Each structure stands twice: as structure tokens, then as C-alpha cells.
Amino acid sequence: MIRSRTRVAVRYAETDMMGIVYHGNYLPWFEIGRTTLLKEVGISYKELEAQGYRLPVLDVSARYLRPAFYDDTLDITTTLRERPLLRIRLEYEVRRGDELLATGNTTHAFIDKQGRVVRPPAWVTEKFAGKFKGSG
């Protein structure tokens, strides 16, 4: 299992007139968590794309438990439980301190420029393998 944590501050533009975060803004925070986790593993999204790979979203879900507000400082925890083969599934938690505000997950496929599902490049597989040693 791989886990990453990143912090965001809620911007005014992410809220409605009541100062509550609009639900659609959680998805960009999930993306921030995802790209941070990959970067910490040593995988650059930019490099993946330069080599002709993409990671489109196949599925996304979010569960909203408590509201976030303008100027909150939030922690996004991203978890990858299984080593990816053709797909990668990530789980997210959004917290304000110890308070769980939202959970979610995304599933992505590795595809080439023609949109065909492919295995990730060897260097990506090696990066994940190094993090999942002893987990099968």
C-alpha cells in the first residue's frame, strides 16, 4: 500500500455564497492527491504523457460527510492499495484536522495515444514494484 498526504487551502472561488465548498471542487483536490502520490513514487505525469501514455478517469465517486468552508486548511490523503497493472484505483480522504469531510475514489486506465488500453511502461512498473515489495 502507498499513501500520500497533501494540503490545500480552500479558495473563495471554490465556495458558494454561503462560503461552503461546491461539491465539484473535490475532484480537482483528488487530482492534486493523485499527482502528488505519483510524484512521491517517482512517476511524473508530464513524463508519462511525453512518452505517449494517458490515465483517463474510468470511474469516480465521492461521498460528502461534512462541509468544507472558505479558508479551511484541508488534508487530502490518497491511498493506492494494489499495484496497478492495466488500471489504477486510488482512494481519497479529505479532512479538516481530525474531522473527515469527504471520501472518494477514482479508477484510471493506462492508454496509448490511440486510446488503446496498454500496460504501463516498464519504468512505471518498476517504481510501483519497489513500493509494493513483499505484497505479492
What is the set of active-site residues? 16
Give 7-76 as a DSSP string: EEE--GGGB-TTSBBPGGGHHHHHHHHHHHHHHHHT--HHHHHHTT-B--EEEEEEEE-S--BTT-EEEE
CA 83, 88, 91, 94 torsion-angle sign:
positive
> What are the CA-CA distances from residue 35 to residues 13, 26, 112, 130 (Å)?
22, 14, 19, 18
Residue type, 81: R
Three-class DSSP category at 126: helix
